[in-house]
Structures are given as structure tokens and as C-alpha cells.
Amino acid sequence: MVANRICLVFLGAAACALISSSLLIPASSNEVSTMPDTAIPDDVSGIAVTVFELSEGVTQYNFTLSQLMTTGGTFRTPALYNETYTVTSDGVNITISCHHFPPFNRTGVATGNNIVAVRVNGVPGFPSGLWASAVVSFSLGYGGIAESRFNALGPAGQLGPYDDYLSTFMGDYASELVLGFAGTAADVVQGVLDFDPDTINLDSNGKWVTCYIELPEGHDVADILVSELVLNDAVPADRTHKVVVGDADGDGVPDLMVKFSREALKQQLVVGPDQQVVVSGSLLDGTMFVGYDVIAVIDGGAKG
């Protein structure tokens, strides 16, 4: 089989790899021809995207959707060999491209582009986030496993259909995965979250963060079930602190003050100026609600 020399340019440097022409597979012909309507709204303000990737454990990388639709986002993993991801969006689908350059050819589960899951946060009607639900198209890199592409669908904690692995194995050198998002929105009340502090320092030794939650007219914050409150879909409310109904911002709308573990939340955050935090829960009558705020996350410097 004759190999084609394909030149790849990323991060301002050119790199060339020998890749078999049969290994770069456009997958539109392999997927369903009609995609369900996307659940991502036209207004992407306040919408964020979390990519879960497996290298040395599962790591989360967070972006705003508006960023992915303009400049795109990139991240490098702690993988043994140079591995760089680029994430972009057309406002409907999320495209993840991976360039991975080991010093020797590998195949199967030893290859790169190991996506565990992708979640869109802040979509009305999806208080726990909207997980990727369909593979729109894909391109395999050298040694990649086509069947593993479906491991990127659904929540991050579930094992994929390919051999019960958590992640995809899309291959080395150059590979790509395009994911779609569809679902049925739940009847969710849109609340307001005021998160304190405005900046989280990952080096800080502080123990707690504080959330002030407001609900729209017709709903009482005193009816919030504290036992079901979750921050960033992972951190439960601290039950040792007293919750307080008040009006912290003085706007005439009652709010509920709740504490969460700062250390547990830090495990869900990455450094950046516009990181979304999400609180979700339910009321005594079963009504679900969600609230969002945007904070800065730093590593070192002034305490936060």
C-alpha cells in the first residue's frame, strides 16, 4: 500500500507524517443521513462547552461556545508524546481535531484522540448539561479504531459501547470527531446564581465558596431542597452550614445562601477568565431549576 505524505500545520509549526491514504475516513457515509434537530439554541450567550479527555486520568477542558465559533479553542494533554487538540463549532456541532506524534507507529488502544465525553452547559431545559448524542462524521488517524467513536457519546462516567472503554481511540498523527447534540428539554425554571468569590485561585487554601440563588416570581427559594443542590453537576451543597434566606444583593428579590466545598469545586475547574459555574436542583413540588454565573480561575497570585 502506498502512503501519502500529509503536512499538518498547528501552533505555528509545520509537521509532516506518513499516513496511509485509507486511514483518513470521512464518516458521513457511515453515519445516519438525517440528524435530529440540535438542542443548542441560536443565542449562545452564556453557553459553555466541557470536553472530557483521557490521558493520565480524565481531564476537563472548558470553553465558551462563542469562543469555539470564532477563534476556536486548543489544549495540550499530559500524554507521553506531543498531543494537541483543537475544538471548534458552527453553533450546531462540535468538532474536535487531534494531532498526536509518537516516535513510532502504534495501533488500537495505544493511539491518541481519547475523548470521553463532551457536554454543552447552559442550554435552557438541560440543568445537568447537554451531552453529545450523535457522531456526525469522523476521520481516523493512523491505527485508530472506528468503532470507538461512539464512546464519546453520553455522560462522562459511563463506559462506552466499544469494549467497555471510557474513551475513543481515533488514531495518531491527525484525526477528527464531529459530534451532534439533541435532546428533549425538561420543564426547568431559570434561576439566578451569584457566585462568591468572583475569582477562584487554585492555590488558595480556602474551604468554602458561597452561592446566592434567586428564583423568578411564583417560586419560593425556601422551597429549594438543599439535599438535591449540585454545583457543576458534581459538588453537593454542604449540609453542615446553615442555609439562609435573605437578600444579599439588596434587589428586593429573596435569595438562598448555600455553601459548597471549594476543594471539590477546584477539581472541576480549569484556569481561564470566563469559566462557567452552574447550580441545579429542585423544589418541594418537584420543579427543577438551574442558575449560571461566570467567574475567573487563576493559578497563583492574589488569593481568591
pLDDT at 98 over 70: yes
The pLDDT of residue 269 is: 85
Same domain assignment for residues 12 and 74: yes
Average pLDDT, the chain: 83
Tens-digit pLDDT profile for residues 49-92: 999 999 988 999 999 999 999 999 999 998 777 899 999 999 99
What one-letter code names the amino acid at 8? Answer: L
Same domain assignment for residues 255 and 126: no
Is position 111 within any domain? yes
pLDDT (average), residues 165-174: 95
Same domain assignment for residues 205 and 258: yes
Same domain assignment for residues 78 and 59: yes
The pLDDT of residue 15 is: 30
CATH number where 259 lies: 2.60.40
Lowest mean pLDDT among 22-31, 181-190, 233-242: 22-31
Q: Give how many domains the chain has, as a whole number.
A: 2
Same domain assignment for residues 169 and 231: no
Q: Which among 128, 150, 180 is the end of a domain?
A: 180
Is position 303 within any domain? no
Is position 118 within any domain? yes
pLDDT at 17 over 50: no
Please state whether the predicted TM-score (pTM) of the whole model is above 0.85.
no
Boundaries of domain holding 216: 188-298
Edge-to-edge order in the sheet of strand 255-261 = 192-196, 208-214, 255-261, 244-246
Same domain assignment for residues 162 and 225: no
User: CA-to-CA distance for 124 and 28, rounded, in angstroms?
Assistant: 29
User: CA-to-CA distance for 11 and 78, rounded, in angstroms?
Assistant: 17
Residue owning grid cell 458561597:
210
Q: Which among 125, 154, 180 is the end of a domain?
A: 180
User: CA-to-CA distance for 29 and 174, rounded, in angstroms?
Assistant: 20
Same domain assignment for residues 118 and 219: no
Same domain assignment for residues 48 and 144: yes
The pLDDT of residue 8 is: 25
Same domain assignment for residues 132 and 60: yes
The set of cell numbers assigned to 38 is 440540535
